[in-house]
Amino acid sequence: MSELEDVSRHIHDRTSSLRSVLDLSVAELPQNKIKKLGQELSALESLLEEFEKCVGQQKEQLKHLKELEHSFQEDLGDVQHIKDNIPAHMPRKKGLANGNEPALKQNEVQPAPQETVKKSNKRFIREIDFITTTEFESIPQYMKGRASYHQLNAAVQSINTAVTSKYKILHQSMKALNNQARKLHRRFKEQETKDTKGQFFVVENDIREFTQLKVDKRFQGILNMLRHCQRLREFRGGGLTRYLLL
C-alpha cells in the first residue's frame, strides 16, 4: 500500500508542476521551456503506467485475500460444527498405551510384584467401552429399532455406573459399611458363582439400585445390541441373569 501511495504522491507533484507551467503558457515560452514541458509530460505518462500496474497488483492481492477469507470462514464453520456436535460419550482409544509399548489385551496381565498386584486389584473396576459410530452402524436395523447412537451410549454409561457402585461396596470391608451397604454386600456375594469368579457383572436389580435407567423392553433391546458389539455376555443360573462385562 505504501508503494501505491508513493506513486500517487509523485504523480500529484508532477501534475502540480505541469499546472504551474500551463498557467504561465499565456506568455510565449522559450524553446527550452517547451522541451521541459514535453519531458514532464513523458515522465507523467510513465508514472501513470506504473500507477496502473500497482493498482492491478493490489486488485490481485485483494482477490487472493478474499479467497483466503472464504476458505477461513469454511474452516471456521467446520470447527464450530465439530464443537457443537461433540459426542457426549467418547469411545476410548485402543492401541498404544503410551508412545512405545502396546496396550495390554483384555486377558493379559502385566508382570508386577505380588504386593503391587494385590493393591491394584482391590481398586480396579472394569468398565465397558462406549460404542463407536462404526460399531453402531454395523448393528442390524431390526436390532436397533428406534434406539439412537447417543441413547445406546447413555445406557453404557449407566451400566458402568452400576458396576462401579457395586464393586466399590464389594471392595470395602464389612466393618466400613453401614447397614444398607452391608445388605447389598451380602446380596452381591450371594449372586457370585464359581463361573463368575474374577469377572465383573451386574444384574437388573443393580441397574435399578444405582441408576435411573428403566429396566424394560427397551433395555432388553439395548442389551441385545451390547451383546452384538461384544460388550456383554449373559450368564444364567439360580433364577438370575448376570450380565458379564467383556
What per-residue confidence (pLDDT) applies to 25?
Answer: 55
pLDDT value of position 90: 60
**pLDDT value for 240:** 92
Beta-carbon contacts of 140 under 8 Å, excluding residues fewer than 6 positions away, are 228
Whole-angstrom CA distances from 172 to 122, 167, 168, 176, 177 are: 9, 9, 7, 7, 7
The reported pLDDT for the residue numbered 168 is 94
**Which regions of the chain are under pLDDT 70?**
1-4, 6-7, 10, 14, 17-37, 87-122
Query: E strand or H helix at 13, and its extent?
Result: helix 2-23
Q: What is the distance between the alpha carbons of residues 203 and 159, in angstroms, rounded to a whole number?
A: 10
